[in-house]
Amino acid sequence: MPADIWSLRTFCIVTGGGKGLGYSIVVNLASRFASGSVIAIAGRTEANLLRTQEYVESHYPEISVQPLVVDLCLRDTYDDIFPTIFSLQSINAEDFQQVMLIHNAGTLGDITHTAIQQDDTRAVRRNLDLNIGSTMLLTAAFFKFFPDRTRFKTYVVNISSLCAIQPVKSFSMYCTGKAARDMFFRVMAEEEPDVRVLSYAPGPLLTSMTTHIIDHVGDKDTKQMFKDMKDNEQLLDCDTSMMKFVCLLEDDKFESGAHVDYYDVEKICDQ
């Protein structure tokens, strides 16, 4: 018998769903979600979103994907996002028994400079907007659209990082944003006992972000750390990390609001 989570018709939105971990989140959920589920994927690059959509809809035709080209930190309002998706898909909130908001989008920010060199007012504000502000505002829009938590089993996932709890040289903006998000969702979990809130740190991943780090990071210790992980094949494939993530959701035993790291999850659920 499938776990409850995979038997309920689900609406899910994944930010940054066009590539890397976001792509892997979408594909791994699509392969498990109940027929008739809809996954909205928000991102800045249309081509990436369309590629994700095409892959999912060809492999899992019972799942619909709605791409949404959007720069989340440039919006005056977020209230139109869910009505737009539901209108494009010709669906209603009543069609679903389960709703899921997955905050995956995020940016490293300037990793060439140290904390005390972060002097670009526009860049700092844009980074805080994207990594923290848009996460808050999209959450508010989501709960405005699905206000009745007695009707929907509701999950909110924050894709976190070890950087949320451990400082890393050259990662001042990234660590700050991840720590901020973890705390925001801890408060939310306290306030909303009927929402399942998870901050999942996916482990060190083999993505374009990691290549970018090795190529551009200012601090030589941080560079060496990532280079060593790559050379020693310690970087994880996104799908490997996702196996533990889907297991966390399926088991549904995590403490709401908790920061759970890939390496904290012992079990890998059956595929």
Tell me if 186 contacts a second copy by CB under 8 A.
yes
**From the CB of 181, what's the least distance to a second copy, in Å?**
8
Cβ atoms 21, 43 nearer than 8 A: no
Binding-site size for a second copy (CB under 8 A) equals 53
Q: Which residues, numbered 40-59, are part of the site for a second copy (CB under 8 A)?
A: none
Tell me if 219 contacts a second copy by CB under 8 A.
yes
- Which of 38, 168 has the CB closer to a second copy? 168
- Which of 53, 161 has the CB closer to a second copy? 161
**From the CB of 241, what's the least distance to a second copy, in Å?**
23
Element housing 208 (H / E)? helix 208-216
- Residue partners of 12: CB distance under 8 A and separation at least 6: 29, 33, 37, 38, 39, 40, 99, 100, 101, 102
What is the token pair recorded at 243?
């196996």
- Which of 191, 237 has the CB closer to a second copy? 191
How far CA 125 is from CA of 15, 20, 130, 177, in Å, comes to 20, 25, 9, 12
- Which of 27, 168 has the CB closer to a second copy? 168
The number of helix segments (H) and strand segments (E) in the chain equals: 10, 7
What is the token pair recorded at 42?
């928000």
Contact with a second copy (CB under 8 A): which of 80, 115, 194, 212?
115
Query: Taking CB under 8 A as the rule, which mask of x and - marks residues 189-208 in contact with a second copy?
Result: xxxx----------------
How far CA 174 is from CA of 120, 165, 169, 211, 225, in Å, comes to 15, 11, 10, 16, 16
First to last CA, the chain: 13
Contact with a second copy (CB under 8 A): which of 34, 50, 128, 260?
128
Tell me if 158 contacts a second copy by CB under 8 A.
no
Tell me if 184 contacts a second copy by CB under 8 A.
yes
Whole-number Å distance between alpha carbons of 212 and 110: 11
Side chain identity, residue 126: R
Query: Taking CB under 8 A as the rule, which mask of x and - marks residues 70-89 in contact with a second copy?
Result: -----xxxxx----------
Cβ atoms 138, 15 nearer than 8 A: yes
Tell me if 150 contacts a second copy by CB under 8 A.
no
Question: Which span sits near a second copy by CB under 8 A: 15-23, 165-173, 209-217, 230-238?
Answer: 165-173
Tell me if 109 contacts a second copy by CB under 8 A.
no
Tell me if 261 contacts a second copy by CB under 8 A.
no
- Which of 119, 233 has the CB closer to a second copy? 119
DSSP result, 175-212: HHHHHHHHHHHHHHHHH-TTEEEEEEE--SB-SHHHHH
Footprint of a second copy (CB under 8 A): 75-79, 114-119, 121, 124-125, 128-129, 132-133, 136-137, 139-144, 164, 167-172, 175-192, 219, 257
